[in-house]
Amino acid sequence: MPWQSLLERTERLPAQPLEDWFAAVQLQLGEVAPLHLALLGGRLAATPGLAFLAGYQAALRVLWPSAPAGLGALCVTENKSTRPADMHTRLSGLALTGRKDFVTAAEAADWLLVAARDEPAGAPVHLSLAVVYRGAPGVRIEPLPSLPLMPDIGHARLHLEQASCELLAGDGWDAYVKPFRSIEDLHVLAALGAWLYGVGQDGAWPQILQLRLLALLTGCAELTRQCPNAATSHLLLAALFTQFAALRPEVDAAMAAGPPTWAQLWQRDQNLLNIAASARAKRLEKALSSLGMSSQ
């Protein structure tokens, strides 16, 4: 990890349409490892939402190392559920038909990874992961209203009608959808931590707080070296989020004492890490049980 790039003071890239902002990030960074994209992209972000986007894109590239340039999106949710048995999107040959209801940044994404069922009638549920491209025949994206949290990061509904696709190797659930939950959490935490570190640099936050943020980021770097499905990784990820939670009172106080622009952005988006808190709690509980450790 080129830590010097993070430690140096860097001008942030101005907020602009998501695809343009991410193209500027890729142009400035070149080809970098996913963690570098999360950290340095977070440092370049003008808002917490754009830091989230950098972490999300980094996580997608862990999932699909040969992903093309440009924004991507993972399309899983149907009717507020991510359970394979609740999905109706089907893969037939190399054609996809169905709908995904809540896709992050889909309206700006060049490529979309779609979880789809492909088991024969009467067989156990099985998922594959396929890729389709924005603008291709049978691919339609329906933008959804902005949310109060991270309104600069859009969401959309994806409609597929016999859309031609490419298949990724491996089981769609075990190799992609299931581990992505932890991979995304880790890389978004790293990106947001880098954004906060940059704000702290610019705002001359207490050195002890800046050092604690760096300690959090080094912990994120170590965890990227571990298997995301392992019980120990879920335990260590929970430890990192606990470390971040312990920093929150200091971060909140520093934000409140600084420029109103940063304080307002933080007030609006500070809970973005809480989105998947319940899922993380369940993974931690299972990890503790499998490791023979008490949850008390």
Which residues, 6 or more positions from 175, have their beta carbon under 8 angstroms from its beta carbon?
129, 168, 169
Q: Classify residue 157: in a domain, yes or no.
A: yes
Q: Is residue 127 located within the same domain as residue 199?
A: no
Look at the block and give the residue holding tokens 């430890």: 239
Q: Is residue 197 located within the same domain as residue 247?
A: yes
Q: Is residue 81 located within the same domain as residue 28?
A: no
Which residue, of 113, 133, 167, is where some domain finishes? 167
**Which residue ranges of the chain lie beneath pLDDT 70?**
1, 295-296
The pLDDT value given to residue 10 = 81
pLDDT in tens, 89-100: 999 999 999 999
Enter the tokens of residue 92: 């037939």
Q: Classify residue 159: in a domain, yes or no.
A: yes
Q: Is residue 162 located within the same domain as residue 249?
A: no
Q: Classify residue 269: in a domain, yes or no.
A: yes
Q: Is residue 54 located within the same domain as residue 106?
A: no
CATH of residue 140: 2.40.110.10
The pLDDT value given to residue 148 = 95
The pLDDT value given to residue 280 = 93
CA distance 191 to 73: 17
170 CB-contact burial (10 Å; exposed 0-12 / middle 13-18 / buried 19+): exposed
Which residue, of 114, 135, 167, is where some domain finishes? 167
The pLDDT value given to residue 3 = 86
The pLDDT value given to residue 294 = 75
Q: Is residue 159 located within the same domain as residue 184?
A: no
Residue 185: which domain range? Answer: 3-63+175-290
Q: Is residue 281 located within the same domain as residue 185?
A: yes
Q: Classify residue 140: in a domain, yes or no.
A: yes
Q: Classify residue 295: in a domain, yes or no.
A: no
In angstroms, the Cα distances linking 276 to 52, 185, 191, 267 are 13, 8, 16, 19
The pLDDT value given to residue 296 = 66
The pLDDT value given to residue 99 = 98
The pLDDT value given to residue 229 = 92
Q: Classify residue 80: in a domain, yes or no.
A: yes
Concatenated DSSP letters of 133-166? ETTSTTEEEEE-PPPSSSTTS-EEEEEEEEEE-E
Q: Classify residue 296: in a domain, yes or no.
A: no
Q: Is residue 100 located within the same domain as residue 197?
A: no
Q: Is residue 57 located within the same domain as residue 80?
A: no
Q: Classify residue 185: in a domain, yes or no.
A: yes
Q: What's the number of domains the chain is made of?
A: 2
Q: Is residue 193 located within the same domain as residue 58?
A: yes
**Closest to 103 in 3D by CA, of 169, 18, 35:** 18
Which residue, of 136, 167, 198, is where some domain finishes? 167
Q: Is residue 87 located within the same domain as residue 124?
A: yes
Q: Is residue 209 located within the same domain as residue 246?
A: yes
The pLDDT value given to residue 30 = 92
Give the DSSP H or E segment for 194: helix 178-202
